[in-house]
Amino acid sequence: MVLAVAIGGGSLLLFGVFLLIGPIPVILFDASAPLILLGNASLSILFFIQHSGMVRTSFRNRLARTVHPDYHLAIYSIASGIALTTVVLLWQPSKTVIIHAEGLLRFVALAISALAIIGFSWGVQALGSFDTFGLVSVKVHMRGKQLRPPTFVLRGPYLWVRHPLYFFIIVLFWSAPDVALDRLLFNILWTLWIIVGSFFEERDLVAAFGEKYRRYQKNVPMLLPLRVPRTPEF
């Protein structure tokens, strides 16, 4: 539990700093621009494989053969924290600056970033029980009890889009006032990964909630809030 909070939480703080102020590499490699971009892309892909692979039901089922399922989220938090920290600390900055916003434009970009952070927090709060680091699962297991099955409750930004956390993080990606070539690569790769991952996550959610989630899919957009929300009946 301590490792899950320290490594998982620490990596999220580092990632937040990375998104807001740019790369913070502990080692700077003397490499050409194409090699820097290739290295950054490789770091991203390795993280995608780890992060998306461990969250899939098939992986959880295999892990459950050796580790109790209640420990999966904590192990996932530790592994993801290590992978994300590696990305942040080894990410190489590019000298090619594409956008450097100043004046009013910079203020608008920073304001959008702030709104995205507020929106993300709103989405987390709307979830109610968001066991980020798997602590609840471990505590329940240690007490000899069983976790309650997840309930399908909709409120807040989930009335606007099915994946508001992804929407707000994408907005945060693209609202950076300073964009070098490496940040552009980051924005493109990580946005595509989130979009593709959303489709895979949808399959797991349909398997978990069945017809309720299918009706939700028909009435609420996946990522872009293009409709005025109505009070759903699911």
CA distance 179 to 60: 37
* pLDDT of amino acid 195: 94
* pLDDT of amino acid 233: 56
Q: Region 168-192: what's the mean pLDDT?
A: 95
* pLDDT of amino acid 149: 67
Q: pLDDT tens across 25-56, in order?
A: 888 888 899 999 999 999 999 999 988 888 77
Query: In this structure, what token pair is assigned to residue 2?
Result: 């301590």
* pLDDT of amino acid 179: 94
Which residue's entry shows tokens 């609202």?
Answer: 175
| Closest listed residue to residue 112, CA positions, set 52, 28, 168, 189 | 168
* Cross-strand partners of 179: 99
Name residues whose C-beta falls within 8 Å of residue 19's C-beta, 6 or more positions apart in sequence.
Answer: 172, 173, 176
Contact yes or no for 80/9 (Cβ under 8 A): no
- Quote the percentage of the chain above a pLDDT of 90: 49
* pLDDT of amino acid 147: 66
Residue 231, burial from CB neighbour count under 10 angstroms (0-12, 13-18, 19+): exposed
CA distance 132 to 24: 25
Q: Is the pLDDT of residue 132 over 60?
A: yes
218: number of CA atoms within 13 Å, CB side?
Answer: 8
* pLDDT of amino acid 234: 53
CA distance 57 to 201: 10
